[in-house]
Amino acid sequence: MFEWLELELNEIKTNKFHVVDGPADNALRQAVESCNAFVPPSYKQFVLRFGNAYFYRELSYYKIGVLASLREERYAKDPEVFYRFGHFDANGAYFKESLFREGEESPVFEGGEDRMHRVADGFESWLIKRCNAARRRYNKRQWAEIIAGPPPFTPGERRIVDSRRRFRWRIVGIAPNDDVRFEIYNGSDVVLPFLSIGIRGKQRHPQGGGLNGGAWLPVSSVLPGEIRVVEKDCYKKLIDPHDVEAFALPDPEPEDRDRYWEFKTPT
């Protein structure tokens, strides 16, 4: 079971395109094996083999995700109890409690509070179906590049990585148009077009929900050794700017060229 997935994981040389925790440690194995007997067996086997898993990265988002533990969810419009185990694109993926049968697979539903749709007869068939759908979004050239992995950084790109480490920034207020104001210090010896940072809402759901994205601060006017204030829309249509929390992103790797705007050519 899932040998096809192991082959793909081993074949792809692009780091972070697929991310899995790996085989369960003793604590997780004990929790999985002692959990409700009605949990579908293929889902249990997946968790023991891969743990939390995320597949087909696009920018900072993964098209498919599988959680190592089920999350109970109830909706006002539906008396059923659903258990979320992952997602495909923007839709959650669920089992329905009333359809659990001991030792048997259970149908998979996708959707959310407004409506649920049955999309597969079981977890493994759902995963195969969704992985095939995700793969079809890449043409032959794109998939070959993902298999081969990205070329290493050039000396110029390595200089960009080093330079972004020397920038310092902090939120200093809110503009009249609700953009967030950032004070930027350029401690490097170069000018960058943008500085990529992470953005999330301060009010986060205890189970991991809530906005979690990024922003690309326009820093081309901040010369080496200077401090300037720049303004940036940080999802102001989605969250109150006073609830914005900014955080540093890790150093980019070669596969992150299209995700970090520091590598963009100034226009």
What is the arithmetic mean of pLDDT over 191-202? 92
Instruction: For CA atoms 250, 256, 259, 265, give the dihedral sign.
Output: positive
CATH topology of domain 3-148: SMI1/KNR4-like (3.40.1580)
What are the residue ranges spanned by the domains of the chain?
3-148, 155-263
Average pLDDT score, the chain: 90
Which of 2.60.40, 2.40.340, 1.20.1280, 3.40.50 would CATH assign to domain 155-263?
2.60.40
Q: What does the pLDDT look like over 138-194, one tens digit per residue?
A: 999 999 999 999 999 999 999 999 999 999 999 999 999 999 999 999 999 999 999
The residues facing 183 across adjacent strands are 170, 229
Q: What's the CA gap between 73 and 91, in Å, rounded?
A: 14
pLDDT at 205 over 50: no
Lowest mean pLDDT among 24-33, 34-43, 187-196: 24-33
Would you call 49 helix, strand, or coil by DSSP? Answer: helix
Can 3-148 and 155-263 be said to share one CATH topology?
no
Instruction: Return the pLDDT at 39.
Output: 85
The model's pTM: 0.76
What pLDDT score does 59 carry?
A: 72
Q: What is the pLDDT of residue 76?
A: 62
